[in-house]
Amino acid sequence: SVLIGVLALQGDVREHARALEACGARTVTVRRASELERVDALVIPGGESTAMWKLMRAFDLLEPLRKRIEGGMPAYGSCAGMIMLANRIVDGMDGQETIGGIDMVVRRNAFGRQVDSYESTIEFDGAPLEAVFIRAPWVESVGEGVEILGRVESGESAGRIVAVRQGRLMATAYHPELTGDHGVHRYFVDLVSKSKDEE
Ligand code: GLN
């Protein structure tokens, strides 16, 4: 089976690990570059992207993360993790950097600051999924190589892109680790398994 690292600087580390394990993967927490070297793939949980960026700098993880992603390591980012995988961000803090990898522009706190969190049923890869948004970003625009896996379906933000994939990288604006529905994690574990078979 595949070994998936869960970046453990911040966020729902245990919940992601449990969901991945329910889908047949082995998991390990990742806090240093040496731990990153061992994994087949990485999940970047939600949290606060400005804090995560500073922690990545403090732990000397930003360059190793960029190198592994450029080298083809699959990665999945949820919420702040989506921000970290974006090539460009809007409404970032001054100087805020990302790891990058997905050719998209992501807007931080896109649903408005007054909207702390909400839930909505959203299609993911052709099946309905209960999506939990917490001070979530959305995707403003994507480049040609990016596949759109989900959009907000109703309300003011209807049509906004909230799930994407580019090659071995994927991201959701919402938190699938907080529900019992493992559709997103299963999709990622399948992607990681296929990537490993190709090597
Ligand atoms: N608003 C957060 C940020 O900008 C993301 C929120 C989350 O990950 N739940 O990083």
Could you tell me if 163 and 148 are in contact, meaning their C-beta atoms sit under 8 angstroms apart?
yes
Q: What is the mean pLDDT of residues 124-141?
A: 94
Q: Which amino acid is at 99?
A: I
Annotation-wise, does 47 bind a ligand?
A: yes
Annotation-wise, does 135 bind a ligand?
A: yes
| Distance in Å, CA 52 to ligand 1 centroid | 10
Return the CA Rg of the chain: 15
Going by pLDDT thresholds of 50, 70 and 90, the confidence category of residue 111 is: confident
pLDDT, tens only, 10-60 = 999 999 999 999 999 999 999 999 999 999 999 999 999 999 999 999 999
Contact 134 CB / ligand 1 (< 6 Å): yes
- Spatial distance between the Cα atoms of 3 and 111, rounded to a whole number of angstroms: 34
Model's pTM, two decimal places? Answer: 0.96
Supply the range of the domain harboring residue 91.
3-198
Could you tell me if 89 and 98 are in contact, meaning their C-beta atoms sit under 8 angstroms apart?
yes
Q: For strands 117-124 and 127-134, give the pairing.
A: antiparallel
Total domains in the chain come to 1
ipTM over 0.90: yes
Contact 108 CB / ligand 1 (< 6 Å): yes
Q: Which amino acid is at 196?
A: K
Looking at 79-88, 94-103, 112-121, 175-184, which range is the least confident one? 112-121
pLDDT score recorded for residue 115? 63
Contact 106 CB / ligand 1 (< 6 Å): no
Hunting for tokens 């592994």 — which residue is that?
68
pLDDT, tens only, 66-92 = 999 999 999 999 999 999 999 999 999
List the one residue out of 79, 97, 77, 81 whose CA is nearest residue 89: 97
Q: Check which CATH number belongs to the domain holding 139 and give it.
A: 3.40.50.880
